[in-house]
Amino acid sequence: MHRAAFAHAGIDGGYTARRVGAAGLPEAVAGLRQPGVLGANLSLPHKESVPALLDDLTPAARAIGAVNTVIHSGGRLRGDNTDAPGLLAALADADAPTGGLSVVLGAGGAARAAVYALRQTGHDVLVVNRTHARAQALAAELGGRAAWPETAPWSAVTLLVNASSAGLDAPDDSPLPTFPRLDRRALVYDMVYRPAETRLLRDARAAGLRAENGLGMLAHQARLAFTAWTGVDVPVTVFLEALKAAEATGDPAP
């Protein structure tokens, strides 16, 4: 999708995917300081470990404690988090309910961005994670409350966001093996976008609820990252169309 954005903006640029292990992260980040490199995106499991390797963080990235976008300027690297505003934009597109209780599943970097975004916009947030201590720590730091999956007040939930890796490349895996009964107005938003139809989304639709995968969030966060790198604002539709085309071909870094 970034290649499509470069083409749309008339910029001679490229975007490639690179698999980096934890041991190779410092070297990979150092490489971003080379002339001509605009920056990079990071995915799990590096979002929470990369800030220590950067020169500066945006206020949002510092508050969230996770970085998904690195911006290079004059040899200095600044970390930002476009996941948070990207999620909010995607939820707005999906006409997500604004009242009631919002549940975030997970406690990693993506979950931190989700909790931060929802708390900044006035949502009552409940963090649910398989490791309860991590849910408690996240809620204490960013706001909200923590609950066990077995004791969460599911019937009051109007927004359910899966920010865990459950379902990623595993269509039969779910963060909630037994799908709970939610408020009938609820929207279920799964940040996972590959596969496009996760078990969580199938279970939500079977319960008569609206459900969306993470493609919209991916497009919105990418648009914000592209603007941070280039100063050029490209319509989100360019990113969405490129993503849909990439889904058909299996391109990992459109």
Per-residue pLDDT reduced to its tens digit, 116-129:
999 999 999 999 99
Find the mean pLDDT for residues 208-224.
98
Tokens for 189?
């938003």
Q: The domain 2-81+221-249: what is its CATH number?
A: 3.40.50.10860
Domain spans, the chain: 2-81+221-249, 84-213
Q: Fold match between 2-81+221-249 and 84-213?
A: yes
CATH topology of domain 84-213: Rossmann fold (3.40.50)
* Residue 244: active-site member: no
pLDDT bracket for residue 104 (50, 70, 90): very high
Q: Across the strands, what pairs with 127?
A: 104, 146
Say how many C-beta atoms besides its own lie within 10 A of residue 143's C-beta: 16
Q: Across the strands, what pairs with 159?
A: 102, 187
pLDDT tens column, 156-211:
999 999 999 999 988 899 999 999 999 999 999 999 998 999 999 999 999 999 99
Spatial separation of the C-alpha atoms in residues 41 and 178, rounded to whole Å: 34
Given this model, what pLDDT does residue 176 score?
Answer: 97
Spatial separation of the C-alpha atoms in residues 32 and 41, rounded to whole Å: 11
Considering 46, 47, 199, 223, which one is annotated as catalytic? 47
Query: pLDDT over 70 for what percent of the chain?
Result: 98
pLDDT tens column, 39-66:
999 998 899 999 999 999 999 999 999 9
